[in-house]
A and B are shown apart, each in its own frame.
Chain A
Amino acid sequence: MIHLENVSVCYKNTPAIEQVNLTVERGDFLGIMGPNGGGKTTLVKAVLGLVPLSGGSITICGKDHLKSRGLAGYVPQFSFVDRTFPVTALEVVLTGLLKGGLHPFFRYTKQQKEEALNCMERVGIAHLAGRNLPGLSGGEFQRLLIARALAVHPEILILDEPTASVDPAFRQEIYALLGKLNETVTILLITHDMNAIAREVKTIACLNRTLVYHGEPHLTEHIINKLYNCPIDLVAHGVPHRVLEQHEGDR
């Protein structure tokens, strides 16, 4: 569904990602992990056509990624979005329904408003529809961004650390929701959360400027060392299967 071939992105003269080859199949749930500055956000922004490629090519459903806009719903890191802008929560979700080109004389229909409310309901914030953005908590705003991405009716859902600012209970809700959505939607999830990697994702991509690993979510110590450049503790609690492979002395 998404195919990256030798993709490189440079900011000025600093390479952010280099020579990434990656294929995401339809229906996949790809967890993208890696250290800060490893190029995770750059990778998804490249897929979304938000940053120019300095090399390689990206195709989505066989077409150049710049010509297949409107297929993806995006949940950016919430600190990148202006939380003081004078609109209501409902208006934010409604912007997810705008697609392509320009919309002269456009007014949202009643049906579209109901659809937007429905998306808000799915993340449990329908009661906040009329609330202004500054009146939302961090967690509520995070849910709002997810609701907006759902309003797109995306074929691909791309989320950049959606659980960074929410409580553990909602974190579980998000994973459950994503798991359910994954029945029809291809998902790319950037996360540092090993629980997510363990619980829902089908494949993982480890990125530290280059693609260190792509495949089943079973990490060896070797990959982790290569990814973070140092041995680290990665422990996944209460999960049905292991993320990390069994260690030598791990009996």
Chain B
Amino acid sequence: MIQALLTYQFLQHAVLACLLASIVCGIIGVIVVEKKLLMMTGGIAHTALGGVGLGYLLGFEPILGAAVFSTAAAIGTGFVSKKGGKNTDITIAMFWSLGMALGVLFIACMKRYPPDLNSYLFGNILTVTSINLYIMAILTFISVIIIFFFFNDWKAWLFDSEFASISGMKTTLLEYTLFILIALSVVVLLRVAGIMLVIALLSVPAATAALFTSKLETRMVFASIFGIFACFSGLYLSYRWNIPSGAAIIVVSVSAYLLLSAVHAAAARTKKHTVCTAA
């Protein structure tokens, strides 16, 4: 595979895409999991299909359309969830299905032969173009900068947003920034895992990292490392056996999580047993 990697540009793109996706799923994934925003993220991801469809219909880069649609969905659901009440769930469901419906409609309106949506729905890391890569790199860079420059603000806000608000911190700004960052990370992960599977890349590495550390920053680093492992293994399997990359990545990461959490539980039990018998 090393030889192939040096020869084929599509594989080099795939490797770079894996790295970028892992960074994002590590950092934003941990925040999404801690803030319990997974369903909202799922909604934002699915809305992106509308943008992909519009891109194909009007002839611009579909991933840019996805960025616009998911950002709109993020701000929309964010606004409703801030207002509180039971409507958040309904709004998520509406964006979720409306985005997908629009995507399908836009594609159906095309005069040309319709494109294959599978690579957007389930991801295909082997078809990442250089434009995709540029967009992914810029969005990853923006996300990393925003999180790290204001890390202590994020930490304070994530732990207790009410207290942060009383201290005079700009909590509404942080909240909407987070919603937009989630939308951007969905776009970064789109070509790697696909609309349907993005939510797994944002949750599984973060959940795996949570088994090993109770420190926010370390958890982000660990989650990125697990992300890299999952993406590279998925890439390898996908290249080797010609299977869809998104599916391979998710199967690898979920299996790794299950295995590690079983080991973790067993280790905890042994430790407890040792402590109890010693006492």
Contacts and interface: CB of A to CB of B under 8 A. Distances in A.
B117 interface: no
Contacts of A102: 150, 153, 169-170, 173-174
A49 B165 CA distance: 8
Interface string A100-113: 11111111100000
Contacts of A88: 215
B247 to A, nearest CB: 30
Contact of B159 (A85, A101, A108, A134): A85
B21 interface: no
Interface string B29-41: 0000010000000
Nearest to A68: B168
Given A101-B170, A102-B169, A95 B156 contact: yes
A213 to B, nearest CB: 27
Interface residues on A, range: 35 or more
A83 to B, nearest CB: 10
A69 B213 contact: no
B241 interface: no
Contact of A76 (B155, B163, B164, B214): B163
Contacts of B163: 74, 76, 95-96, 148
A33 B162 CA distance: 22
Interface residues on B, range: 20 to 34
Contacts of A50: 162, 165-166
Contacts of B274: none
A99 interface: yes
A152 B156 CA distance: 13
B223 to A, nearest CB: 11
B34 A95 contact: no
Interface of B: 34, 85, 149-153, 155-156, 158-160, 162-170, 173-174, 210, 213-216, 219
Interface of A: 12, 48-50, 69-70, 72, 74, 76, 80-82, 85-88, 91-92, 94-96, 98-108, 132-134, 148, 152
Enumerate the 5 nearest inter-chain pairs by beta-carbon distance, A residue then B residue, closest first.
A69-B168, A95-B156, A100-B168, A132-B214, A70-B168
27 contacts: A12-B85, A48-B162, A50-B162, A69-B165, A76-B160, A76-B162, A85-B34, A85-B159, A85-B216, A86-B219, A87-B155, A87-B159, A88-B215, A95-B159, A95-B160, A95-B164, A95-B167, A98-B164, A98-B167, A99-B168, A101-B169, A103-B152, A106-B150, A106-B151, A108-B152, A132-B214, A132-B215
